[in-house]
């Protein structure tokens, strides 16, 4: 069965959830990575000191937001924030969305994917895709610990993150790194929110295309 695509707009609410620490997507080393100590994460903040954006990401992570046990239904979603493949709108299109999903009983995993860069990647065109593929495989490997149904793991992305979500949904079996046989990266459903859905001139978001 092919993944189901939805394009959606929604209001964000919040209530009971459990945010856990960031987990490295590649604890044993990032495939195709170039060592560049000067390429360090940079942050933007709101007036309250909350981190709202992250740029120059070179060490991908997922941050689990688990629904309260009284609501949890076994469904999980990887959330891919947008930002034109140059930064991540990590609060508005990441953490806030994850908290809202928790109110529906859905576990959420905010993906801080690597920003495509010739400074840190041997092939920047596949960098974000390999992060997304490994993230979904990682979640399936830990499904029992997080009380998830391995057949109900999807992906949701905004803007450039929507492009990444759609790329994962259509290129889930593309071998962009070495992985263990039998570990599927196929999303069971996909939600694309104002996505960058094409790289064709005239219809694409030029900034995203240039960055990737």
State mean pLDDT over 109-134: 98
Mean pLDDT of the chain: 91
Angle between helices 160-170 and 127-141 (to 10 degrees): 70
Q: Which domain holds residue 28?
A: 4-211
CA 153 vs CA 74, 141, 168: distances in Å: 9, 12, 13
54, two tokens? 């992250």
> How does pLDDT run across 175-197, given as a tens digit for each residue?
999 998 889 999 999 999 999 88
CA distance linking residue 210 with residue 212, whole number of Å: 6
CATH code of residue 42: 3.40.50.1820
DSSP secondary structure code for residue 61 in this structure: E
147, two tokens? 């009380």
> How does pLDDT run across 2-39, given as a tens digit for each residue?
554 444 444 444 455 677 799 999 999 999 999 999 99
Sign, CA torsion 184/188/192/197: positive
**Number of domains composing the chain:** 1
The pLDDT, as a whole number, for residue 198 is: 73
Q: At 34, is the secondary structure helix, strand, or coil? A: coil
> How does pLDDT run across 141-177, given as a tens digit for each residue?
999 999 999 999 999 999 999 999 999 999 999 999 9
CA distance linking residue 41 with residue 131, whole number of Å: 17
């Amino acid at each position: 069965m092919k993944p189901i695509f939805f394009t959606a707009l929604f209001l964000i609410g919040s209530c009971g959830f459990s945010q856990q620490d960031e987990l490295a997507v590649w604890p044993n080393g990032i495939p195709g990575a170039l060592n560049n100590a000067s390429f360090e994460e940079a942050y933007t903040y709101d007036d309250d000191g909350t981190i709202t954006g992250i740029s120059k990401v070179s060490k991908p992570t997922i941050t689990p937001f688990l629904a309260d046990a009284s609501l949890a239904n076994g469904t999980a979603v990887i959330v891919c924030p947008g930002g034109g493949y140059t930064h991540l709108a990590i609060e508005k299109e990441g953490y806030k969305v994850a908290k809202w999903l928790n109110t529906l009983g859905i576990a959420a995993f905010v993906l801080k994917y690597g920003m495509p860069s010739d400074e840190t990647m041997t092939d920047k065109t596949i960098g974000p895709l390999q992060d997304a593929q490994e993230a979904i495989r990682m979640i399936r490997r830990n499904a029992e610990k997080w009380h998830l149904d391995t057949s109900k793991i999807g992906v949701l992305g905004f803007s450039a993150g929507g492009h990444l979500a759609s790329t994962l949904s259509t290129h889930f079996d593309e071998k962009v790194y070495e992985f263990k046989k039998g570990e599927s990266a196929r999303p069971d459903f996909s939600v694309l929110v104002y996505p960058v859905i094409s790289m064709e001139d005239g219809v694409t978001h030029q900034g995203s295309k240039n960055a990737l």
